[in-house]
Structure 1
């Protein structure tokens, strides 16, 4: 893979002298400032207080245009910086800052630069270097101070009517709280699998737009010697009557062990179904998520699963778990443009974790989210967001997920230079 990256890099650099105008004129540059406070206070643990950090992050993105010609070439640069504002070693790291696993000391500052070489033919792009895949089998998490990124090659095409294709070969990951490029590994939360690493991850898939309101997708991935996974998605918006729409979102994953099965046996089918009723500024969503098979749903370490049912202090992906959720969103655009509110209640039952207390365990979460983006004026685009969650379970105290009250506050602003 390194040889391919070098070839693409050379292809990007050689034509620049003669076609620099095209390369620069189509380029964009931006700098995002993110101030993030996260406090996860454990409510039922005698030895750990929780996880807590306050940090400032900066995300710089330069995306070049493409040179003229049948095959255009370009170059993207991403700079990531984190600055510690407050962190107490009595608390666990929250995923905002690089943390010493033994002393719990956080790095005062940390920075990284990612470079992506890219080629484009018509509406097809090939990228090598730092890549940001985003699909049901792999995507870079953006839920902390800095985004998770990957090292590898990605292919994306929109050259066919109503069809988008994607594929990739990933060798390393840079986690949200790290500047090191590491081997890929699996999530082993709650002792659901053995911790294992893989030297590459392959994926392929696509989505088809049957109509403006109906879309399906099909994907397949292999984390070498850990697991292989297929995913199917279906989304449709139906008008029930004036201003009342039904949003149907169904996603299905099937996973099993691969190769040497370094993480142990994997046998899971995960089904999620969401029905959203949208009326003017109101949206009410009823959701369920069902885990079938003998194990939990596997996914890559440091990331998340692309599901509508989400948990800030948990993932609701334990063996045999049956999850139900109700969510309400309101957009204050008629009264305070830019202000949005969300609340949801999620409960999971029938959890099979004998080593953590039983075969019929449960967990639940009540969450609130208030988000405001200034729509006009001198500070247009400044975003302020506050989130509060209450999470509980009846697992034993050595479980990864612990009952907690969680507060997240972040302030974001992006300067666009071009």
Structure 2
């Protein structure tokens, strides 16, 4: 987990819009460069909250069919991307559905759980040189607007995005989105997003250093800025040392919070990889008038910028992002390839957070005492290397979360995901 997470920030910035870096001069045509992919996911997620009777679990089967066209030939090429997704509930009855942190299937006002969910969308795109303009339904993966694909079905957003790679090593994004499709519900704007503007980019300075700077403005909710610097230093005998800094600065709009609270959240991590092993040490700090606010849906009174828009080191079940929180992580990863089992990996992390400010629910004044939390994370993953099931992965993940002063709910979490990506053509 840790080796992946350290590189994931830089990797996601480089691949947030796949296959768009190619020049229009290299276009082979609308049909010739097109592809059709099917992604199947069987997902089970259980959260056993230990300070109440909230044993929540959902299980479902999903499929996402994605068509990506090439661009027509010429100075300006045009194309279209389209998708259709469907999820069916296998089990989440007996009152176990409805946890906001799981959100596979919506629960209506009568307490009935949706039996299935379907959604389809498309975007038209145009490319000039190495710049692409896309309008329609999209799945952005940016540090200030990152769609949530960590549950059964992914979120999608409707709007406009420009992605430019005109300068070698530099990727620039600019966009405006005005609708958010909730992953557990049908409808184009089931998240009831007003609008979000995003602007920024990432730059590969050389083989070892990469940086990024992004900003977003969620209408009547908040303004956010993000900075990242990633440094990889090769060592002797193939070992590597990776240093990663990520930070957010957020100011909540007074339309959303009458106090206009601010938050600063940053993390610094070091990862040492040697042979089959990698070791991580990370420190994360949250400061300001409130904790880091992100994710979920404006229809639920939240921000609406994507459930995974928190690209910092200590983000597992808990994100360790509460008001004034300080947290440390010790992580370990093991790749079994060198032991004759390619595709098998294990990851462990222990994170301890302290100094969490607790406010009186009536006066909103900080209490004298502070809270703490700790999480033990384990994940075992296997990716099939060959044969008819090549690239299919099985991921077993568990977290144990404990907190003091009733800051948050204690709980045990289990996730079992079986993912099978297939290229049809």
TM-score of the superposed pair, with normalisation by structure 1: 0.87
Query: Which residue is 1:380 aligned to?
Result: 390
1:124 alignment partner, one of 112, 119, 131: 131
1:242 alignment partner, one of 237, 245, 251: 237
Confirm whether residue 85 of structure 1 aligns to residue 95 of structure 2. Answer: no
Residue deviations 1:332-377 (CA, integer Å, cap 9, x gap): 1122011011010111111112247954101111011000011012
2:416 alignment partner, one of 404, 409, 417: 409
How many Å apart are 1:406 and its aligned residue?
A: 1.0
How many Å apart are 1:259 and its aligned residue?
A: 6.2
Is the 1:130–1:151 contact (alpha carbons within 8 Å) kept by the matching residues of 2?
yes
Is the 1:269–1:293 contact (alpha carbons within 8 Å) kept by the matching residues of 2?
yes
2:371 alignment partner, one of 333, 336, 361: 361
Is the 2:324–2:357 contact (alpha carbons within 8 Å) kept by the matching residues of 1?
yes
Unmatched runs of 5 consecutive residues or more in structure 2: 1-27, 297-305
Is the 1:124–1:158 contact (alpha carbons within 8 Å) kept by the matching residues of 2?
yes
Find the residue that maps to 1:218 and give its secondary structure: strand
Find the residue that maps to 1:211 and give its secondary structure: coil
How many Å apart are 1:103 and its aligned residue?
A: 4.1
Is the 1:226–1:263 contact (alpha carbons within 8 Å) kept by the matching residues of 2?
no
Is the 1:225–1:262 contact (alpha carbons within 8 Å) kept by the matching residues of 2?
no
**Whole-angstrom distance in 2 between the partners of 1:263 and 1:85:** 43
How many Å apart are 1:300 and its aligned residue?
A: 3.2
**Whole-angstrom distance in 2 between the partners of 1:338 and 1:412:** 14
Please give the residue correspondences for 1:186-201 in structure 2 after superposition, counting only pairs within 5 Å.
Answer: 199-201=194-196
Confirm whether residue 137 of structure 1 aligns to residue 144 of structure 2. Answer: yes
Query: Which residue is 1:188 aligned to?
Result: none
Q: Describe the shift of the 1:411–1:90 C-alpha distance in structure 2 as closer, same or farther (beyond 3 A).
A: same
How many Å apart are 1:89 and its aligned residue?
A: 4.0
Query: Which residue is 2:328 aligned to?
Result: 324
TM-score of the superposed pair, with normalisation by structure 2: 0.85
**Whole-angstrom distance in 1 between the partners of 2:268 and 2:112:** 41
2:76 alignment partner, one of 71, 76, 82: 71
**Whole-angstrom distance in 1 between the partners of 2:193 and 2:103:** 25
Confirm whether residue 371 of structure 1 aligns to residue 381 of structure 2. Answer: yes
Please list every run of at least 4 consecutive aligned residues from structure 1 whose deviation after the TM superposition is greater than 4 angstroms. 261-264, 356-359
Query: Which residue is 1:30 aligned to?
Result: 37
**Whole-angstrom distance in 1 between the partners of 2:94 and 2:109:** 10
Is the 1:198–1:226 contact (alpha carbons within 8 Å) kept by the matching residues of 2?
no
Is the 1:76–1:116 contact (alpha carbons within 8 Å) kept by the matching residues of 2?
yes
Is the 1:96–1:146 contact (alpha carbons within 8 Å) kept by the matching residues of 2?
no
**Whole-angstrom distance in 2 between the partners of 1:134 and 1:264:** 30
**Whole-angstrom distance in 2 between the partners of 1:322 and 1:120:** 45
2:273 alignment partner, one of 278, 281, 294: 278
How many Å apart are 1:387 and its aligned residue?
A: 0.7
How many Å apart are 1:176 and its aligned residue?
A: 2.0
Please give the residue correspondences for 1:13-412 in structure 2 after superposition, counting only pairs within 5 Å.
Answer: 22-45=29-52, 48-94=53-99, 95-182=102-189, 199-258=194-253, 260-262=255-257, 264-301=259-296, 303-304=307-308, 305-312=310-317, 314-334=318-338, 335-355=340-360, 358=367, 359-396=369-406, 401-412=408-419
